[in-house]
C-alpha cells in the first residue's frame, strides 16, 4: 500500500444532485482542498491543508491527514456518514431491548 493512501476513503457530496466523491489518498485530498472556495477557507480548512501537506512531506502519517480531512468534510457538511456497522447497530439495539 502506498504511504499516502488512506485505509478507508472519505465519502463526500457537494449537495443534492452532485455525485458522491471518494477521496482515498493524500494527493487527492490536497487537490480537493486547493479547489475549495477562497471565501470559505477558515481554520478547519487550514488545519486539513497543513496536515495533508505534512503527510506529503513525510512529517505526518496519511491516517493523521485522513482524520483531519474527514473532520473538515464533516464540519463543512460534505461528509457522507454511512452509519455504524450492522453488527454494532444490532448489539446497540439489543442493549436497548434488554434494559
Q: Are the C-beta atoms of residues 54 and 65 closer than 8 Å to each other?
A: yes
Q: Give the pLDDT confidence score for residue 81 in this predicted structure.
A: 80
Q: Give the pLDDT confidence score for residue 1 in this predicted structure.
A: 59
Separation CA 8–CA 63 (nearest Å): 9
Structural domain containing residue 49: 5-98
Give the residue ranges of DSSP H helices in the chain: 26-34, 43-56, 62-75, 86-98
Secondary structure (3-state) at 56: helix
pLDDT tens figures, 41-67: 999 999 999 999 999 999 999 999 999
Q: How many domains does the chain have?
A: 1
Q: Give the pLDDT confidence score for residue 83 in this predicted structure.
A: 55
Secondary structure (3-state) at 13: coil
Amino acid at each position: 500500500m502506498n504511504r499516502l493512501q488512506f485505509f478507508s476513503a472519505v465519502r463526500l457530496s457537494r449537495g443534492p444532485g452532485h455525485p458522491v466523491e471518494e477521496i482515498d489518498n493524500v494527493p487527492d485530498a490536497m487537490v480537493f482542498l486547493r479547489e475549495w472556495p477562497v471565501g470559505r477557507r477558515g481554520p478547519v480548512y487550514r488545519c486539513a491543508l497543513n496536515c495533508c501537506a505534512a503527510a506529503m512531506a513525510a512529517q505526518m502519517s496519511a491516517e493523521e491527514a485522513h482524520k483531519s480531512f474527514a473532520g473538515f468534510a464533516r464540519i463543512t457538511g460534505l461528509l457522507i456518514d454511512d452509519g455504524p456497522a450492522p453488527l454494532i447497530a444490532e448489539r446497540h439495539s439489543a442493549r436497548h431491548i434488554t434494559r
